[in-house]
Amino acid sequence: MVAAALAFLVLAAAPPVPHSPVSTGPAERGLATWMPGEVRCDGGAAVGKPIRRPLGTIGWRGSNSRQSVTLRFDIDGSGRPISITREDLRYVPNDDIAPSLAASRFPAKARSACSVTYTAQIEPFAAAPVADLVSYSVTPLSGRLPQQGWDRIQEAGNCGQAPRPQPLMRAYPDFDKLPATPGVRDWSMIAYDTDASGKPLNVRVQTGTGNKALDQASVKAVQESRFTGGARTGCSYPYWRAPEVMAAPPMPDKNAFKSGETCSTGREWTTAPVLRFPAAYNRRRIEGWAVVRYDVAPWGAVGNASVLAAEPSDDFGRQAVQMIQSAKAAASQEGSNGCVDRVRFVIKPDVAGADTDNAQPIVTGD
């Protein structure tokens, strides 16, 4: 078996100062929110809490801006979406649609033949909901938020005027002690004023995801911070908490998928598989697995790779196929047919100090 584990930082990284000047960009751009429609299973509507919305992106406003994506899936007995697939694989400028569904929950009842369609709605930055703009700034999938977005976020006041206040001492919550939400990065945008000495006043939650513990800890952190610039009004700063890891659904027993008779155990790779965790699922800390079948030519090339099973979405299957196809086996007299490997994508939250985007996978044997 080939197993891939991605190690990354448990604590949230220090947020960037939200009022840094950025390019305004073309006026036709806006904030794209991908809104899920009705969820239907077995021909009827699925009743339950609203499913997670995908993260926002920056899009172009115009006659062709209302793109849509349909996902098909099942729901297991715990209410978790599984076997998520896209109806088609055309390019969509948002890689968080399937992961957001994987992070959702339905009532604890098994359902099958479910589907939901997401439609993009693009609004001018000056009119977009403040919470959606802050959410984008915390996870900027399409690059930095343009200045029009920051102008919309910022409350009335003089905090954005030059020279802008700089932190003399920036306090942070103890993120590791705060509750996390599975598959969701919680955030809290804190608004505040400062007195002539740079001490924060009137500290309050401007908007957030509703994590009360994070809200309280973030308010306390701003109250303990100190700034330059004298008396100011309308300042703001975001804090966020990394998602709680979502373990993969149960993996089938090894005997469920057996390799062909010509495939040897403990294969020798002259070029090892390039192990990569699907970035969109790592962002939400969602684990997964895949079972793949492939052939090996006598000269060691891997071919005819296919997915036998993958959960919670077929994205893990596609990633596993890419990994196997990147490898090369030792040359043999006859090659091998119908080889089966099990690939686990496991996030290791106990490894401190690792960068989320750059941490290397760890390879272990089965």
pLDDT digits (tens, 9 = 90+) for 210-227: 999 999 999 999 999 999
Final residue of a structural domain among 210, 241, 272: 241
> Are 199 and 273 in a shared domain?
no
Structure confidence at residue 28 (pLDDT): 78
Calpha distance 229→65 (Å, rounded): 43
Among the three residues 199, 220, 241, which one is the final residue of a domain in this structure? Answer: 241
- For the entire predicted model, the pTM comes to 0.87
pLDDT level of residue 63 (50, 70, 90 thresholds) = low
Residues 100 and 181 in one domain: no
Looking at the structure, do residues 293 and 261 belong to the same domain, yes or no? yes
Q: Tell which residue, 111, 106, 102, 36, has the closest CA to residue 69.
A: 36
Q: Is residue 6 part of a domain?
A: no
Are both 237 and 276 inside the same structural domain? no
Q: Write down the pLDDT at residue 228.
A: 94
Residue 110 structural domain: 22-129
Please give the pLDDT value at position 266: 72
For residues 293 and 227, state if they share a domain: no
Number of domains in the chain: 3
Residue 62 burial by Cβ neighbours in a 10 Å radius (0-12, 13-18, 19+): exposed
Average pLDDT over residues 326-347: 92
Q: Which of 208, 211, 209, 170 is nearest to 189 (CA)?
A: 208
Residues 58 and 152 in one domain: no
pLDDT at 157: 93
- The pLDDT score that the predictor gives to residue 321 is 95
Q: 143 or 360: whose pLDDT is higher?
A: 143
113 lies in a domain? yes
CA dist 271 and 281 (Å) reads 26
Dihedral (CA of 317, 80, 101, 132) sign: negative
Rounded mean pLDDT of 62-67?
68
Q: How far apart are CA 5 and CA 354, in angstroms?
A: 13
For 12-30, what is each residue's pLDDT tens digit?
333 443 443 344 444 478 9
What sign for the dihedral angle of Cα 273, 279, 282, 288? negative
CA proximity to 240, closest of 162, 134, 328: 134
One domain for residues 202 and 117: no
Would residue 161 count as lying in a domain?
yes
Q: Is the CB of residue 184 less than 8 Å from the CB of residue 103?
A: yes
Q: How large is the average pLDDT for residues 257-281?
A: 87
Check residue 15 and give its pLDDT. Answer: 41
pLDDT at 65: 65
Tell me the average pLDDT of the chain.
Answer: 86
In 3D space, the residue among 47, 112, 37 whose CA is nearest the CA of residue 82 turns out to be 112
Buried b (16+ CB within 10 A) or exposed e, 313-337: bbbbbbbbbebbbebbbeeeeebbb
**Sequence letter at residue 188:** S
In-domain check, residue 46 = yes
The answer to whether the beta carbons of residues 188 and 218 sit under 8 Å apart is yes
Distance in angstroms between the alpha carbons of the first and the last residue of the chain: 5
pLDDT digits (tens, 9 = 90+) for 89-135: 888 889 999 999 999 999 999 999 999 999 999 999 999 999 999 99
Question: Residues 91, 125: one domain?
Answer: yes
Say whether both 110 and 154 belong to one domain.
no
Contacts of 358 (CB under 8 A, 6+ apart): none
Residue that finishes a domain, picked among 191, 220, 241:
241
Residue 135 in domain: no
Q: Is residue 140 part of a domain?
A: no
* CA–CA distances in Å: residue 99 to residues 60, 175, 311: 23, 23, 12
Measured CA to CA, the distance from residue 74 to residue 81 in angstroms comes to 6
The CATH number covering residue 313 comes to 3.30.2420.10
Q: Do 99 and 72 have their domain in common?
A: yes
- Find the mean pLDDT for residues 227-239: 94
312: in domain: yes
- Gap between the Cα atoms of 101 and 161, Å rounded: 41
Q: Which pLDDT score, from 0 to 100, does residue 64 have?
A: 54
Which one has a higher pLDDT value, 334 or 192? 192
Q: Which residue's entry shows tokens 């077995």?
A: 42
Residue 78 maps to a domain: yes
